[in-house]
Structure 1
Amino acid sequence: MARIAVIGAGMGAMAAAARLAVAGHRVAVYERTETYGGAVRRFERDGFGFDTGPGLLPLPAVYRDLFIKTGKEPLEACVELVQVDPSARHVFADGTELSVPNASRAGVVAALDEALGAGTGGRWGDFLVRAREAWDRTRRPLLEEPLWPNWQVLADREPYPAVPHKRLLRTRRAGTLAEVGAWELRDPRLVALLESHALAYGLDPRATPASAAVLPYLEHAFGTWYVRGGIRELARAVYERCVARKVEFHFGAEVVGVLEKDGRAAGLELGDGSTAEADFVVAGVTPGVLDRLVRESAVRGADEVAPQRGAASRLTVLLALRGARPEATAHRTVVHATDRETELGTLFGAAPGVAARPTVAVLRPDDPELVPDLGHEAITLSSVVPARPTGDWAEREVLDLHAEQLIAVAERAVPGLRDRLLWHEVCTPADIAEATGAEGGAVPAPALAAGDGRLLHPSNSTAMQGLLRVGGWSHPGGGLPHAGMSGALVAGLIVEGPEFRGSQ
């Protein structure tokens, strides 16, 4: 039985802790804040409840596997999963609206033809076929296996089988998601539908490799799910599973250093001056934080993937409304920017800023647990913003301006919104930074192939023996499913050793 010290109580860290405890190890988690979940938090006021991190769960099989492997009670015995249908409603720049059925290719094709015109469904369906091929080529190396030592192969090869396009008498293949949209979808609304999946992770579709086609495919193939009571309930269930498996949690315990002995991680130094000896250290922190805890040269190998740079953040506005949620309201509505070029130029330009009329995700869960009574509604608005120093979000005037921009956009999807509004709260990148320790409130994107490896993440193993990385800032990257996968990979590397090659 090994002693294992885990830094942080994010979703990936807790997933690793539960699996390691079941394998017979003694696991202790040290979390600098007073609660678990990392970015998966909850805000409550006046009987209203809101998720302030992710609001929906893609690929729930990752957490089903976690619960199967760590106890008798399956995931569905611990939380109530609800399949969201439609998967999303889209309001495009020209006012056209589209409701996308959940996990139904035929339904999506029919809905597109009806809403956007004959032929659009067929083009999107053909795109999904190619996206599936990219998914099949990258699923194991990017989700189910430790990062390959020769990861450069993933960086150099574009898995998306784009069809050839003739331009100036030359044949070209789409290298970016924007080129896939322009050359293969050929409709600004289909392009907006495609690019919204990248934008949701703070990725510029003009620079994001075509391999990002796996993002809409993942949602199409495996559906979109909601956890009754909010995604925070998933974090609670994972935490309680850890406790049931005898994982020790120490909250308010800031780690200030990783102890090293004979070139191997040997425990933790805590902010109160105490130490915790360990045979393995699992770090669920950002690359910058890990660099401060240990010498950088001891963590990264010479040929290792560099930490993902340029990650964006999120601005979230929580709305408490009088009046019941109307019947047949979509759980999620994406209101697309009226000017794509201006939005992308503002977000990803030389001096990134907050777009005046950004793409906004509007979440309207049909969940009585989130409201004081059925005569009220809780709505969450979110949009991508640049990661910024904490001080940039300190002024009330700045918060009010940005909240007003999101509310103005949301009015396109929620008639009479302002007349129903009781109050609102704003969650900024500074709040994300406080919860996760990420500089500027940055939110990691999932690992993607191609693009010279810019969207890969450092491997779970490090150059220091006994020190491993877990969570969104390590392989396989950001997002709830990816965090859960990182926990499985780290547990496998500790239990089975460096020869571990992932689930079969």
Structure 2
Amino acid sequence: MARETNYHCDREHCCLMANVIVVGAGLAGLASAVRLAKLGHQVTICEQNEHLGGVLGRVEADGFTWDAGAASTTLPAALRDLFRKSGRPIESLVQLEPVTEPRRHMFTDGSVLDLPISDRGLQEEAWTDLAGAAVAEQWTALVDSYGDTWQILRKTSLEPPLEDKLPIKTIRALKPWQSLEKVAQRELSDERARAVLRHFAAQGGSEAALTPGYVGVWTYLERTFGRWTIAGGFGALADALVQRASERKITVHTSAEVVAVTTTGGVVTGVRLADGTELPADVVVSDIDPRVLYESFVADPVAKKVRKRILATHQAQAAYVVHLGLKDPVPELPFETVLHGTPTVVVRTGGTAPAGHQAWSVLVHGYPTDDVLDLLVARGLPVRDNVVSRQTSPSWWAGVAWEGYRTARRRASNVSPVKGLYCVGAGAHPGSGVPATTLGAAIVADAIGKA
């Protein structure tokens, strides 16, 4: 039985609004809901779980607290815009804090790079100290070159809905047929620099050889806009969005599993829950895997063409996440450390812990064949004897894996051919990650418009 939290406005006012149902309350679903409510629509959220926020949750055990999923983001303007367009500024609820520590890269040859995140000159110095001036200049030039790429992607892909065709001039500038691996081999002469660039594919669950070279734009975005976290962890961001939903008088149903989007003649009419309840709607915003949506939830013939395209995609490999509570002494690490190799392992230290202890989150990108603690030992971090708590995060929906540049056109469009149906989240345009999913919610809100 669905549980309802009702923050509705008065019926006389609501009758003038579009009736919007948001399916799924991850970051993109919550972001869409609060934006649309601010635009004057009557919004209902249906979430199959007991709690809202998706992977923006916390794991708590034995006095330790870890972020369940995301722990930092770039493009802070995307979050600031979300809160500004849904009510008061983000600072009224949570504090964005810059990550000031370098990201550490530990390579298979035993060398270590502490790479500053948002300083061009300091990045060049770090590369010079590790690999010499020539490699440093190569890295700086490559990241600089992504500035033009960013302007193109921002105007054509990250702010507007996905277009059927991009102008030839844009395609030639992006060179989507050049993989990230090809760019790494051509532009960088040091294998360690190549590994750092490849990591921007690995962290999204894809292979560099199948990922377009323009995805390296994230190197430019981090250097230009920095990396940011939330005071209290990203679980606090979920709390803030839930509070914003309350302020915007959104109706929230938890334990409400949607099993169908109902339509008539290519037009949305509502949703059906697992218990048989039918909820009417003028608009449905889906924050679930688009492959599930189009294969199982939407039967309308209008969706046939897009269904075939979307079902041809495959899920990106989500990171396997283990949270460790460790007693001191343990190696002192910065906020994030990348242990290069097969598989790539990322250690985050941003959790909270009792005195004399540390909270680490270990993310394994790929298919681990060894225990996480064995992997850490092999990469130079022997902490097995320090473990006092070990928890795992459930695997999350990581979006669509890159399988060549055409994948971008197979990803679900924000605006469905079924009138009144919209898609947001990791599997929809413009992709996975906090900035992209937040921008996707903005695209949908703009497409629906004011009441």
Q: TM-score, normalised on structure 1?
A: 0.80
Does residue 432 of structure 2 align to residue 475 of structure 1?
no
Q: 1:455 to 1:217 in 2, by over 3 A?
A: farther
* SS in structure 2 at match of 1:37: coil
**What is the CA–CA distance in structure 2 between the aligned matches of 1:493 and 1:486, rounded to whole Å?**
11
Q: 1:424 to 1:176 in 2, by over 3 A?
A: same
Alignment of 1:329-340 (within 5 A): 329-337=333-341
CA contact (8 A) 1:446 1:476 kept: no
2:442 aligned partner: 488
Alignment of 1:170-181 (within 5 A): 175-181=178-184
CA contact (8 A) 2:315 2:400 kept: no
Q: 1:154 to 1:160 in 2, by over 3 A?
A: same
Q: 1:180 to 1:160 in 2, by over 3 A?
A: same
Partner AA of 2:412 in structure 1: P
2:348 aligned partner: 363
CA contact (8 A) 2:102 2:116 kept: yes
Match of residue 282, structure 1, among 261, 285, 289? 285
**Cα deviation, residue 156, structure 1:** 5.4
The share of aligned pairs that are identical, in percent, is 32
Match of residue 375, structure 2, among 406, 419, 437? 406
Of 234-243 and 304-313, the range deviating more from structure 2:
304-313
1:319 aligned partner: 324
1:81 aligned partner: 96
1:355 aligned partner: none
Match of residue 205, structure 2, among 173, 178, 202? 202
| 1:156-197 Cα shifts (integer Å, max 9, x gaps) | 546159xxxxxxxxxxxx822112111211101111111111
Does residue 303 of structure 2 align to residue 299 of structure 1?
yes
**Please, what is the CA RMSD of the aligned residues?**
2.6
Does residue 23 of structure 2 align to residue 7 of structure 1?
yes
Q: Which runs of 5+ in 2 are unaligned?
A: 1-16
**Cα deviation, residue 263, structure 1:** 2.6
Q: TM-score, normalised on structure 2?
A: 0.89
| 1:46-100 Cα shifts (integer Å, max 9, x gaps) | 110111211212211101001111112x212311222112341111111111111
CA contact (8 A) 2:41 2:450 kept: no
**What is the CA–CA distance in structure 2 between the aligned matches of 1:155 and 1:300, rounded to whole Å?**
29
**Cα deviation, residue 301, structure 1:** 4.2
* SS in structure 2 at match of 1:313: coil
**What is the CA–CA distance in structure 2 between the aligned matches of 1:66 and 1:361, rounded to whole Å?**
29
Partner AA of 2:299 in structure 1: R
**Cα deviation, residue 207, structure 1:** 2.1
**Cα deviation, residue 118, structure 1:** 2.4
**What is the CA–CA distance in structure 1 between the aligned matches of 2:244 and 2:402, rounded to whole Å?**
27
**Cα deviation, residue 488, structure 1:** 0.8
1:226 aligned partner: 229
1:263 aligned partner: 266
**Cα deviation, residue 10, structure 1:** 0.9
**What is the CA–CA distance in structure 2 between the aligned matches of 1:483 and 1:39, rounded to whole Å?**
12
2:6 aligned partner: none
Q: 1:50 to 1:406 in 2, by over 3 A?
A: farther
* SS in structure 2 at match of 1:444: coil
* SS in structure 2 at match of 1:311: coil
2:112 aligned partner: 97
Q: Which runs of 5+ in 1 are unaligned?
A: 162-173, 338-342, 344-357, 387-397, 433-440, 498-504
**What is the CA–CA distance in structure 1 between the aligned matches of 2:200 and 2:220, rounded to whole Å?**
10
**What is the CA–CA distance in structure 2 between the aligned matches of 1:148 and 1:383, rounded to whole Å?**
34
* SS in structure 1 at match of 2:314: coil
Partner AA of 1:379 in structure 2: W
Partner AA of 1:381 in structure 2: V
CA contact (8 A) 1:43 1:50 kept: yes
Partner AA of 1:177 in structure 2: L
1:460 aligned partner: 414
**What is the CA–CA distance in structure 2 between the aligned matches of 1:381 and 1:316, rounded to whole Å?**
6
**What is the CA–CA distance in structure 1 between the aligned matches of 2:83 and 2:304, rounded to whole Å?**
32
**Cα deviation, residue 332, structure 1:** 0.6
Q: 1:115 to 1:76 in 2, by over 3 A?
A: farther
Partner AA of 2:185 in structure 1: A
| 1:115-142 Cα shifts (integer Å, max 9, x gaps) | 2222221110110121222112212222
Match of residue 443, structure 1, among 378, 381, 398? 398
Match of residue 61, structure 1, among 57, 77, 102? 77
* SS in structure 2 at match of 1:119: helix
* SS in structure 2 at match of 1:128: helix
1:129 aligned partner: 144
Of 129-138 and 313-322, the range deviating more from structure 2:
129-138
* SS in structure 2 at match of 1:206: helix
2:390 aligned partner: 424
* SS in structure 2 at match of 1:13: helix
CA contact (8 A) 1:403 1:426 kept: no
Q: 1:443 to 1:152 in 2, by over 3 A?
A: farther
Instruction: State how many pairs are aligned.
Output: 433
